[in-house]
């Protein structure tokens, strides 16, 4: 059975959404969830001064959490309509920042997006940002696990 797909969106796909993607993919199997995460950016051009494929703070925090990074780390990717269409659940990391970008580029998808309130570096220190993402991920994983259990009960599994 093909895993369900979750898409994490942020501005540059360099820091917050990458952390959410990689941590989710580490935690979902531990929670017995047949889900897989990807992440994309809504405005990569705003991250013109990002160095390398992923923020060093993201790598450090993931390593601290015991998350195995992929062999070759990809560079940020822009979100395409096909990414949205192929996703079973979509999360944008910060409503105030990402809602206008979604309305501008993908207005018909706004109603399908769950918005969090995770600040970027201009407002919060990395530890605060990562703690906030982890809290949100824990709640999301709990909701997904409950939904999977209800579905299994309905189908008699």
Which tens digits make up the pLDDT trace of 99-109?
999 999 999 99
Mean pLDDT value of segment 115-125: 95
The mean pLDDT value of the chain amounts to 94
| Domains, in order of start, for the chain | 4-155 (3.40.50.2300)
Q: Predicted confidence band at 157 (pLDDT cuts at 50, 70, 90)?
A: low
Segment among 42-46, 97-101, 113-117 with least mean pLDDT: 42-46
Q: Is the pLDDT of residue 21 over 90?
A: yes
Q: Predicted confidence band at 123 (pLDDT cuts at 50, 70, 90)?
A: very high
Q: Is the pLDDT of residue 122 over 80?
A: yes
CB 13 within 8 A of CB 77: yes
Task: Please state whether the predicted TM-score (pTM) of the whole model is above 0.85.
Answer: yes
Q: By C-alpha distance, which of 16, 37, 10, 24 is closest to 138?
A: 24
78-81 contacts, C-beta under 8 A, 24 or more apart = 78/13, 78/40, 78/41, 78/42, 78/44, 79/7, 79/9, 79/40, 79/41, 79/42, 79/105, 79/106, 80/40, 81/106, 81/109
Predicted pLDDT at 112: 97
């Amino acid at each position: 059975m093909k895993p369900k797909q979750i898409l994490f969106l942020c501005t540059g796909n360099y820091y917050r959404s990458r952390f959410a993607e990689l941590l989710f993919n580490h935690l979902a199997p531990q929670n017995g969830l047949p889900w897989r995460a990807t992440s994309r950016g809504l405005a990569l051009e705003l991250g013109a001064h990002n160095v390398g494929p992923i923020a060093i703070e993201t790598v450090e925090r993931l390593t601290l959490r015991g998350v195995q990074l992929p062999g070759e780390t990809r560079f940020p990717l822009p979100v395409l309509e096909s990414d949205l269409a192929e996703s079973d659940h979509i999360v944008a990391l910060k409503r105030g920042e990402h809602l206008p970008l979604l309305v501008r580029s993908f207005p018909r998808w706004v109603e399908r997006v769950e918005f969090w309130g995770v600040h970027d570096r201009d407002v919060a220190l990395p530890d605060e940002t990562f703690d906030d993402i982890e809290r949100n991920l824990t709640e999301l994983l709990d909701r997904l696990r409950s939904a999977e259990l209800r579905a299994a009960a309905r189908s008699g599994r």
